[in-house]
Structure 1
Amino acid sequence: MNKKNRRAEAVHYFKTRPLIHVLEAARVKYEAYGKACGTMMTEKLAYKELLALAEFMGMSEHALDLKRKFSIARFERRIMDRWGITLGELLEEYFSGTEGNKE
């Protein structure tokens, strides 16, 4: 599978799950630092978002809820392991053409 297809598959995955708040937070961190770093607090996530994030991160929602945060760098590693693309590539593709639009 070529990189364009992997990017499209990753975007499809995230657009079909309730992870928009996670991606928006990752985008803020990525734009601020130019790389995947820092953490995101999970306490403001709805339960369905917490479940979807826990599933993607390969952990139970209880474990993620207890931690109250997750690593943006670990999130990127999961993306790279699954699709071979960086968080920056995912964010670029995911948010392309949506500037100023609310989904």
Structure 2
Amino acid sequence: MNKEKLVSSLGIVSSANKLTYGSKLIDKIRENKVSLVIIVTDIGPSQYKKITNKCSFYNVKYYDNLLNGMELSKAIGKDNIKAVGIQDSNFIKLILSNI
């Protein structure tokens, strides 16, 4: 895994407005509008369980333990982000190539 390229790729996805985070993430997973979720290493156990259970139930691929919260927040230019969902299939290919 190339962490620098992953962070850079997440920044590109964010600037293209193809990221979902916060309370909208669960809704987008439920609506099958998100195909990949990235979860940070320092997320709380209840949030982690809620997101991973939704991803498992709706067959959404997720990755955890790739970045910490500070790295992800800095990459997308937001504060205190613990998980993001990627909506566009081309951006998902870009992210997966850097994992």
Higher helix share: 1
* Structure-1-length-normalised TM-score: 0.34
Higher strand share: 2
* Structure-2-length-normalised TM-score: 0.35
Q: Kindly indicate whether structure 1 or structure 2 has the higher relative contact order, using CA contacts under 8 Å at least 6 residues apart.
A: 2
